[in-house]
A and B are shown apart, each in its own frame.
Chain A
Amino acid sequence: MANRSSKLGRLYIIIVFLLLYIPIVYLILYSFSKGTTMTNFNGFTLTHYGELFADKRMLAIFLDTILIALLSSTFSTIIGTMGALAVNNTKRRHQRETLLSLNNILLVSPDVIIGASFLIFFTALKVPLGFWSVLLSHIAFEIPIVLLMVLPRLDEMSPSLINAANDLGATTGQTLSRIVLPVIQPGIIAGFFMAITYSLDDFAVTFFVTGNGFSTLSVEIYSRARQGISLEINALAGIMFIFSLILVVVYYFIENHNASKLKKQDKLEVTGK
């Protein structure tokens, strides 16, 4: 009986995984299709990739998107980590909960609300819409997720570590750079990568604050998709899929590098006993 239900379970997850991946495979498959529609596969070709690479506008947008992602995630990681330190240092429970709820507002708000309110904000401050407004918006909505990735590490850290460093004569700066930052480093890295994905994934907020001159890939895909099927977008999907995979691999490489250090220690501890 248990065996049958587990077989049923396996069948179920295989079906769901198929449903999850069919659209993606379908999308990328047609990037290699001759013709112009996503309906008949007319034989293998790389022309859509050729078109994509020859598309100067698309290339510029691609580079802008990457630039925005890297810059915004760097700044948001710095500010978010500072914020996590601030929240961690707030000992009164009530104050801490207020700070955390304020922090989470941007995480739970619908994208259109963030986009619309930032649009009002930039207009009120007379910030011109374009690169800077998009960059500032991305930094703004990435900060809370960085904080949420870093804070648990800080909370887990025994407060006596900081007291110990202090006790041995370290200044606040030394304690921060030699003890706190190294200990919470995995959270900072995770936060940085989450920030990059948030930036690359965002459409709605960017769409509101981008103005006329500047564009990111999401906005570009949206405006082209509204005009109908263009297999150049499929080719772009193929490239972005590979880019995502590389990002995953890089992240897991860094994670494993950290984890393998720990694993090695575990092993030694076991054999040592």
Chain B
Amino acid sequence: MSKTIIELKNVYKKYDDFTALKNINFTLNAGEFYTLLGPSGCGKTTILQSIAGFTEVTSGQVLFDGKKINDIPANQRPLNTVFQDYALFPNMNVYDNVAFGLVVHKVSKDEIETRVHDALKLVQLEQYAHREISELSGGQQQRIAIARAIINRPKVLLLDEPLSALDAKLRKDMQYELRDLQQRLGITFLFVTHDQEEALAMSDHIFVMNKGEILQKGSPVDIYDEPINHFVANFIGESNIIPGKMVADYQVAFLGHQFECADAGMRPNEPVEVVIRPEDLVITTPEKGKLQVKVDTQLFRGDYYEIMATDNQGDEWLIHSTNATKDDAVIGLTFGPTDMHIMRYNETETKFNQRLETYED
């Protein structure tokens, strides 16, 4: 078991008439990659800022290495930040930017030179030391911001949407690099993003947030396969969410049919929501299908076709298929018991986890 490096206990952040953070509790272990994922305004940046020390929490504790750091100013906290707009100092060149953290700590000139050189080498920009910031591309600025943030050898690196200003191609490349860098440095990364793809690709653990609360914690696969509620299912990936009824354990009914499923532990006849991911739906003939839908439109996405269809009750269905169908055609859809995920209304994360343990191995 790796050791806890950061812990938040009952953290609240309130402004005059607005609560930005509601009872935030989590622990971060040394050397792992964590992501705070949520829509803009959900409080994820506020969490980052209260750990960095740019904002004071209203109540609760922020612990670093077991010590409370609530009252320690930002410039004395042993962790560093990569900012969304990079925040590279425009009045200094690359070298001086990276060296800044050492210069203000009055480190000797020789040591500064070796450490700046090493940091630049780590982000593969050692030949850019004497460039001005305005001479760098967005991706290069991004790497300099990282080099500058790790120069003080922090145990935790906070990253505030660092990839959001980059174009799609560069963003993908940087995802690999960040993951790689985190593993080479062996330090904890706390990454903030609103991009679920980014979160799924890079993280060891994802915390999904909405409206100042953490809704679900877990590995990318857990969160994708077993979202706790409507919001998480919708926010992570694309999904078809249909209201239904849990007839008995492993038996769910919706759209007038009863299906075998893989979930259990609910009250008999409890109303639930059923999630089916578009890529888990298989197109077949209307007779063979468990459901019949009529195709409205289809869009070619390169690696698959995205098909919009409607069932006889007027619900919309999203299907990902490698083969095209015909517009206005009636098609059948099939899916297996494990392709469905059942969600209860208003279930808390603790209850959700307890229930899962009762029937999963």
Contacts and interface: CB of A to CB of B under 8 A. Distances in A.
A262 B134 contact: yes
B85 A170 contact: no
Which one of A160, A167, A262, A266 has the greatest number of beta carbons of chain B within 10 Å?
A167
A69 B100 CA distance: 38
Contacts of A268: 132, 135
A272 B151 CA distance: 27
A168 B101 CA distance: 5
B304 to A, nearest CB: 35
Q: What's the dominant secondary structure at chain B's contact region? A: loop
A160 B100 contact: no
A185 B90 CA distance: 12
A169 B83 CA distance: 15
Given A167-B75, A168-B148, A272-B135, A160 B84 contact: yes
B152 interface: yes
A183 interface: yes
A163 B74 contact: yes
B139 to A, nearest CB: 13
A163 B104 contact: no
Interface in A143-193: 158, 160-161, 163-171, 174, 178-179, 182-183, 185
Q: What's the dominant secondary structure at chain A's contact region? A: helix
B312 interface: no
A166 B105 contact: no
Contacts of B76: 169
- Please tell me the size bucket of the interface on B: 20 to 34
A269 B134 contact: yes
Contacts of B88: 164
A168 B87 contact: no
Contacts of A269: 134-135
A54 to B, nearest CB: 49
A265 interface: yes
Given A169-B76, A169-B105, A272-B135, A164 B152 contact: no
B81 interface: yes
- Please tell me the size bucket of the interface on A: 20 to 34
A165 B135 contact: no
A168 B135 contact: no
Contacts of A262: 134
Contacts of A164: 81, 83, 87-89, 148
B165 to A, nearest CB: 12
Contacts of A167: 52-54, 74-75, 77, 80-81, 149
Nearest to A167: B81
A268 B83 CA distance: 25
A160 B101 CA distance: 15
A113 to B, nearest CB: 39
Contacts of A169: 75-76, 101, 104-105, 152
A264 B105 CA distance: 32
Given A169-B105, A268-B135, A161 B87 contact: yes
A174 B104 CA distance: 7
Given A160-B84, A160-B87, A166-B74, A265 B135 contact: yes
Contacts of A163: 52, 54, 74, 81, 83, 87
B91 interface: yes
B357 to A, nearest CB: 41
Given A158-B85, A163-B52, A164-B83, A170 B104 contact: yes
Interface in A250-264: 262
A272 B148 CA distance: 23
Interface string B66-105: 0000000111110011011101111100000000110011
A106 to B, nearest CB: 31
A263 B94 CA distance: 18
A164 to B, nearest CB: 4
Contact of B85 (A160, A171, A266, A272): A160
Given A158-B87, A165-B100, A168-B101, 11 more contacts: A160-B85, A163-B81, A164-B89, A166-B53, A166-B73, A166-B75, A167-B54, A168-B80, A168-B151, A171-B75, A268-B135
5 contacts: A161-B89, A163-B52, A168-B80, A170-B104, A179-B91
5 tightest A-B CB contacts, nearest first: A168-B101, A160-B87, A164-B87, A182-B91, A166-B74
Interface of A: 158, 160-161, 163-171, 174, 178-179, 182-183, 185, 262, 265-266, 268-269, 272
